[in-house]
Amino acid sequence: MTHLPPIDSLLAATRAIQLMDLTSLNEEDDDARIIALCQQARTPFGNTAAVCIYPRFVGLARLTLATQGTPEIKVATVVNFPHGDDELEAVLAETSAALANGADEIDLVLPWRALMAGDEAGARALVRGCKALCGVRVLKVIIESGELKTPALVRAASLLAIEEGADFIKTSTGKVAVNATSEASRIMLAAIAECGAQNRVGFKAAGGVKSAREAAEYLAMAAAHFGEEWLVAERFRFGASSLLGQLLVTLGERKIAPAADSGY
């Protein structure tokens, strides 16, 4: 008989799938990879919340999701990615183009280097400008917590993003040495609570969450702050590529998980 993990692990794995931004952000991405990603987003345990891809694939992802009968899966894309150093006007133009092509959600990299150097005004202008373009569509602000390093900077970046209109604060690009961590996530969740913003701002753990056990730990952390009812796609996301395969293994759908292909 196949050994099954405890029921809480099964429930966490199912929930994590439905809270996932299934991601492919590789230089070698092509149409075939994005079509396959969209197909993988539909699972026997529910659809992922979104697919997250480079801006050039937004139209293809939207068409593929509609054609396969899952138009409810959101299309997320990235701007100012991954370095966070582009000029304001370039980022606004990139955001505007992505929205025009049909993106539901924009994942914006905060100019964290500038923020560390004391340029808070530039970071505020960028978040504020992108949110103005997004309107009712979702803006997730990536603070790159692993590069900010100190709790004070992680908190400051989180508060800044919330104050300027972010719909989510997100840990990481997945492209640096240190991505989502429990410590940074606790600080970010506490910042949401400090602002009293839990009814309008969500949290996304991205990069490095690779197992059902780790996913369950992040879910428990968020629930401890805001309650089980907060664990919905409007408030909580995982950004991941390899995590889906591991969750399907946990749920007994696969015997061997596929290798990670993007490091996200």
Would you name the residues annotated as active-site residues? 107, 170, 204
Task: Find out whether 188 and 145 touch, Cβ atoms under 8 Å.
Answer: yes
Rounded-to-integer distance, Cα 213 and Cα 189, Å: 20
Q: What is the rounded end-to-end Cα distance, in angstroms, of the chain?
A: 34
For residue 76, give both structure tokens.
């997320």
CB atoms under 10 Å from CB of 132, counted, come to: 13
Residue carrying the six token digits 């997730």:
140
Task: Find out whether 239 and 264 touch, Cβ atoms under 8 Å.
Answer: yes
Q: Pinpoint the alpha helices (H) of the chain.
A: 7-18, 31-40, 58-67, 88-100, 112-116, 120-134, 145-148, 151-163, 182-194, 212-226, 243-250
